[in-house]
Chains A and B, each alone.
Chain A
Amino acid sequence: MSILVDQSTRLLVQGMGREGRFHAEQAIEYGTRFVGGVHPGRGGGAALGRPLFNTVAKAVADTGANTTLIFVPGPAAADAILEAIDAGIGLVVCITDGIPIRDMLVVRRYMAGKNVSLLGPNCPGLISPGKAKVGIMPAHIHTPGRVGVLSRSGTLTYEAVSQLTARGIGQSTCVGIGGDPVGGVTFVQCLEKFQQDPETEAVVLIGEIGGTAEEDAAAYIAQHVTKPVVSFIAGQTAPPGRRMGHAGAIIAGGQGTAASKIAAMEHSGIKVVHSPASIGETIAEVLKHTA
């Protein structure tokens, strides 16, 4: 098994511009079932051997799509998410960065109580190696296996994955939840799924400064997760008040420091590594002890 995406994924791409097309093509190459693209004004046409649609509703009706990958530019991206939710898509993955926070507040309110998961925005997407790739991550670094990877940072996800693969340790699913302050799927929701997934034996959790996602994850792990978790928190040397690359990565009013997150993690019995270069070897060590 794996979480969120697998062979049953029927993928739509919203925004078939240069990036949407490139990553749709990569998804197909990886073996993901790409069923069509949505690009207003190009409905009735085709791309990469699949149909193009003007609306998500029409695309869902014709293709049975259950997952969408959004590349629509920032000013229109929130609307694209709303359209996907309305069309009954179960998993909405939004790559776009720079979506106004106010727009995302509207999305979050609209989503409440509906049967939909939103991953992102400002995220790399997710991949279940050997099954489905729904995102912008480089495919070749992944290998199927039993470690779940969960992160707010795209690049650090790739870093962790490549270290695992280099050691012959595969991944069940790698999920980038995104770096914006208002997003969808949380660490806790993913941890719940990884805990339930019989194929996942251990989890890598990569957090960063800002917000309370890591503290929430630590509290949840202490109560509900029996599988070993290895964590790295980015931003250990970040000065307070400065945004570190991601909109949500900021120490504000003394809150959200790496030190407080590391303390919360360690308090919950999570193994925290202090260099991102040691993620792979630490998981290898942990797996040796559980085997």
Chain B
Amino acid sequence: MGLLSLPDCIEAVENAFRLLMADQHVQAVLINVFGGILRCDVFAQGVLQAVTNVQVTVPVVVRMEGTNVEEGRQILAESGLNFRIADGMADAAHQVVQAIQG
């Protein structure tokens, strides 16, 4: 349950982005979250904080569903970040491939 509080969530997402950005082979990032005990609004805030601390240079596709999803989507939509928002798992996979192929 390491994502439940906002500070933990920021740390976890930040670490994930840091690892991914350190790998030159990573061309795009797909975030797929179906929140149960994890609330989407907390996760969205965590992502926002994390990307201010780590420079993300590749396209990011976010698919988010579950607990508090409306609040979470709103946070991402109002963030001004250039994230692609996907509708469902198959759409997310399709979008991330499209992002790489241009």
Q: What residues of chain A have their CB less than 8 Å away from a CB belonging to chain B? A: 19, 23, 95-98, 124, 135-138, 141, 154-155, 158-159, 162, 275-277
Contacts and interface: CB of A to CB of B under 8 A. Distances in A.
Contact of A155 (B4, B36, B88, B90): B36
Nearest to B1: A97
Contacts of B1: 19, 96-98
A162 B63 CA distance: 14
A109 to B, nearest CB: 26
A136 B65 contact: no
Contacts of A135: 36
Interface string B62-102: 00011101000000000000000000111001000000000
Contact of B35 (A95, A96, A138): A138
Nearest to A74: B1
B36 A158 contact: yes
B69 to A, nearest CB: 8
30 contacts: A19-B37, A95-B37, A98-B1, A124-B37, A135-B36, A136-B36, A136-B37, A137-B36, A138-B34, A138-B35, A138-B36, A138-B66, A138-B67, A141-B65, A154-B36, A154-B37, A155-B33, A155-B34, A155-B36, A158-B65, A158-B66, A159-B34, A159-B89, A162-B34, A162-B65, A275-B89, A277-B88, A277-B89, A277-B90, A277-B93
Given A97-B1, A138-B36, A159-B65, 5 more contacts: A135-B36, A138-B67, A155-B34, A158-B34, A158-B65
Interface of B: 1, 4, 33-37, 65-67, 69, 88-90, 93
Contacts of B89: 159, 275-277
Contacts of B65: 138, 141, 158-159, 162
A95 B90 CA distance: 29
Query: Most chain-B CB neighbours within 10 Å: which of A19, A124, A136, A138?
Result: A138
A19 B4 CA distance: 9
Contacts of A124: 36-37
A85 B35 CA distance: 30
Contacts of A98: 1
Contacts of B69: 138
In the A-B complex, the 10 residue pairs with the closest CB atoms: A277-B90, A136-B37, A158-B34, A277-B89, A138-B66, A138-B67, A155-B34, A136-B36, A154-B36, A137-B36
Nearest to A124: B36
Contacts of A97: 1
Nearest to B37: A136
A46 B33 CA distance: 34
A136 B35 CA distance: 9
Nearest to B68: A138
